[in-house]
Each structure stands twice: as structure tokens, then as C-alpha cells.
A and B are shown apart, each in its own frame.
Chain A
């Protein structure tokens, strides 16, 4: 070029360079993401596998999880180690561990998902209102969260189970109801940060109503951490379910759940360690899957992602 172009870069020109990704097909986009964030896909596949196992438990499980097989115990009454018939061995009642692990995924997934959704749907609106309106509303909502956060978790569940019957739904209600303050806190903090941005002021200046500002402007801008939190919560809530079941106040026998399997297995684990390995490993993979997915979603929801 003989002449340096001093024109301002903003002037519209016909010769604008088209960025490569603009004309790209969806399938290419997908491949590009796969390359850039392999761990999201690992997490996604693990979660997907869990969902498939839970949904098709009846087809996938080789045996009925509750049947006590006469041939499922050794002659001295000890559980059988993994073998050709019972591929993950049997427990001390002669039940097939593999079938129980597969059926247990239903309880874990149900509790994990439902409890997180309960926390999400209670915590998010309260957090947004608390953060946006501030002052008296904020004080009231935040003191309520303090009360909930101060509540001893086990005590609450024991009380709930004493009043109602211990069941899967009561477990996730208990976990969800005690989990919302954390979501509300995080949402509130995000709102406090986001509401100071001038684009929120700009929306107000444009005449946007409170509802639009709260749910169209602020909510999308705080969703990334909330989604990550919720996904991570799913994993945590699965762990809590197993804690409760382990303590005997969660899912009641004979319903198979990973936590109750660990509880039952711990008595005999010295000579039958497979009773802990398989449900423990299943729990580990499920929680890991949700955590990886959560981290990856944060990237995907970020419009500034570089790759």
C-alpha cells in the first residue's frame, strides 16, 4: 500500500472481513467445542450414561435387585466375590450387587436432580429480590437464610422423617429445602455486583420495568455461576443422600441406593470389600460427571469464550 489508510476503523465499508465462524454449520461448531472443551464432553457422557442406566435399569440389571439368591452365598454364609454369574459379587443377603448398583442410580439421580431444582427455584428468586431491592427486604431474606444455614442438617432430616415417612421424596425435599439458602446467597452476591453495571441503569433509563430488569437483564447475567452451582449441587446432593441412607434415615431398605449399600456393606467390608467398591465407585463417577459438566457449562454460557 502506497498510502497509509487514516480513515477511522468504524466507517462502514463494503469490504468488511467476514470472520470465519460466521458461516459455520452447527455440526462444525459442535466439533470445535468438542476439541476446545474435551472435559465437558467427558462429564456430559458420564451424566448421560448415568441417566440411561437409571432409565433403563429394569432392562440393564441382570437380576431383580431384591431377590435373595440361595446360590448367592458361600457355604459358610459369606457373600460371594465377583464371579461369572454375579459379576460384582453378592451382598451378605445373597443379592446381586450389580443389579443393586444399577437400580441405585435411580435414587441417586432423582434425589440429586430434584433437591437441586428445589434449591434453585426457591433460592434464585429470593436471591434476586434480596440483592436488587436491598434494604429491609434484603435484611429479612438474609436473616431467614441465616436461620436455615444454622439449622443442623441431620436434625432437620430426622425431624422431617419423624413427622413424615422416610422416603425418596422426603429425602430430596429435605435436602432441597435446606440447600436453597446457599443458592440465594450466591445469587444475591451476583446481583449486587451486576446491578451496579451501567447497562442495568441504561435499561431503567429506557423505561424497563422491574420485572424486565430482574429477569431479562440481571438474570441472564448471573446465570453462569448459578448453573455451575446447581450442577455441582447435584453431585453434592447425591452424596448427602448417601450420607442419610448410610445413617438409616434416608432411603429405606430394601430399595437399593448407593448410600444404603455402603451402610450395609461396611459391616462386612473386611472380607467382602466389593460391597463398598462398586457403589462407592458409581457414586464417585456420578459426582465427577456432574462436576465436570458444571465447569464446562460455565464456559459454554460465557459469550466471551475464546475458543
Chain B
């Protein structure tokens, strides 16, 4: 795809397991094991999966907060994984991240003003302190916080307010892409919707592109145009949001969706309960990684990894059921 703002190609993040006094590498944790997807400018790409499936690692290796061990990431046509440190630092103003934990993501020794001005100082965006202050105040207004709180420290804010400050900080450098790493999972449900709506509004206002990482399918449905489902470091299904929610193809996606609560106590439906635990990414199962927990497991699943195929237009999945 050429119109993609972000294109992730076979991204791998293998963490070495070292043992013994010589620290020899005895194996790898395949946190992310060959993930590929494209994100078009202006869309929201949701990335879901259970804990430990590599969503966050994917997000962070796209930004090279951790160095990916393989694959390429193209942003605006540039191969991000090949950039030098200096070039990388420049391009960082175009791709930003909003973190999960609003308590840990703000420097406790910076006032809100300092937090918001720091990115401007790093990227030399404004000449004078007055301009920076003006911009910081604008940012606070954009995310719906009062500018009278500019000189407060993060601990004087609530979780939702902090997350707004985190979003304002990401916006300070006028990015094109924001990777939102579970931005609402640490928040109260009532505050979640406020932050989600804020993200939605900001996207319209500033033509942002989001990669939205979450484990909560209803949250992802609310905000995403397309959704990718990850399992044990691999992408198992990728589709338009509507098509994924209406007609999930992969048995794992089906199981996940069956766990989403329906706000109607009368509604009856079949709940697919996955057996067993998530296998260790250091020692993944043979064949299809999902086969030990799959309801529709066939013989071929135990030996051969399924191909990543476009099963319906725009709807990709990796499952032997559709071969």
C-alpha cells in the first residue's frame, strides 16, 4: 500500500534469555514475532489482544523506544529502523506516544508548564519563552484543562486530568501519528469515555492518525476504523472494525468477542471459554500458536503455521479453517 502513513513490515522483537555466569543466550522471548500492518493517514488502527501478546512492545518498537530485532517500519516513506540517532530524534516530533499509566508518564518534578514546554525546547519550535507559554496554554485549552493550573505539579491532578496532560504533551510537537498505548485502561469508566471523546475530537481537529492499543474490545470498537488482533506476538486477524465485530473469522477473535459484555441482561449468547493459559512466548507451540487452546483445532494446525491471507476483501486472517 502506498497511501499508508505507517507501514510495519515483519516487525520482530526478540528478547534474549541469558543464563549462567557467561550470560550466554540460551533462547529468545518472541514478544513480537513478525507483525505486519499498514495504517492510512487519518485513520485509527486498533491493536487488541490479551496481556502479554506483544501489543505494547509493538507500539514501542515502532517508535524505537526499544530497538526492534528485525523487520522494517516505514513512516511517511522513510525506513524508521534504519535512521541514525540524530535523524531519529528529528522524526520523533512527527510520531508521538500516549502512555498507559498517567501516574508514571509525567515527570513529578516538572510543573504542567514545564512538561508541555519541554518538547518545544527539544525541537526548537518557538523562539521565545513567551511564545512557548502561549502555546502551552493553548494546548491545555485544547485538551480541556484550565490554564490557571499551569504551575501545578502532576500529583495535584486526577488520573483523567493527567492523561489529558499526557495527550497535550504529545500534541505539543504537532505530530502526524500518535501511538496510544492503552490510554484509558488505567482510568475510571466514566473518565474513559471523556478521554476517548477527546481523542476523537483531536483527531478531527488536527488530522491525526492513531495506533490505538488496548485490551478492551468495546473501547477499540468505539474508536477504530480497522482493528488488528494479536496473539502471542503474531497478528491473527485484521479487518475493518465493523466487519471484524460482525463476522470474526479467527477462533481467537471469536472467543475474545464472546467475552465482551452486552448491556442487556436478557440477551443470551454462547460464551466461548478459552482453555488453558497463554503459552510462553519463549517456547511457543508448534504449528499455529493458537492450536492448544483452539476449539476448531485440526491436525494440520499442530504442524504447520497458517498463512496470512486476505479471506474477504480487506479482511485478513491467519487460520487453516479458511484454506
Interface of A with B (CB < 8 Å)?
8-13, 16, 197-199, 201-209, 212, 217, 220-221, 303-304
Contacts and interface: CB of A to CB of B under 8 A. Distances in A.
A8 B194 contact: yes
Contact of B122 (A11, A16, A208): A208
Given A10-B194, A11-B144, A13-B146, A209 B104 contact: no
A197 B169 CA distance: 16
B55 interface: no
Contacts of A10: 144-145, 158, 160-161, 164, 194
- Interface of A, secondary structure class, is loop
Nearest to B164: A10
Given A8-B194, A201-B105, A206-B122, 11 more contacts: A16-B148, A198-B105, A199-B104, A199-B107, A202-B105, A205-B92, A205-B97, A206-B119, A206-B123, A207-B90, A209-B89
Contacts of A209: 89
B193 to A, nearest CB: 10
Nearest to B92: A207
Interface in B260-306: none
A304 B119 contact: no
17 contacts: A8-B194, A12-B141, A12-B144, A12-B147, A197-B104, A198-B101, A201-B97, A202-B106, A202-B169, A203-B118, A205-B96, A206-B92, A206-B118, A206-B119, A208-B122, A221-B109, A303-B155
Contacts of B22: none
Interface string B121-150: 011000000000000000001001111100
Nearest to B195: A10
Contacts of B123: 206-207
Interface residues of B, number: 40
4 cross-chain pairs, A with B, having the tightest CB-CB distances, nearest first: A207-B92, A12-B146, A198-B105, A207-B89
B89 A220 contact: no
Contacts of A220: 109
B106 A199 contact: yes
A8 B198 CA distance: 13
Interface string B147-165: 1100001010010110010
A12 B150 CA distance: 12
A198 B109 CA distance: 14
Contact of A221 (B60, B108, B118, B141): B108
A208 B96 CA distance: 13
Nearest to A135: B23
A206 B120 CA distance: 9
Interface in B63-118: 63, 65, 88-90, 92-93, 96-97, 99-101, 104-109, 118
Contact of A303 (B88, B108, B122): B108
A226 to B, nearest CB: 14
B173 interface: yes
Contacts of B105: 197-199, 201-202
Contacts of B161: 10
A202 B166 CA distance: 9
B109 A212 contact: no
B298 to A, nearest CB: 42
A303 B146 contact: no
A190 to B, nearest CB: 13
B169 A16 contact: no
Nearest to B101: A198
Nearest to B151: A22
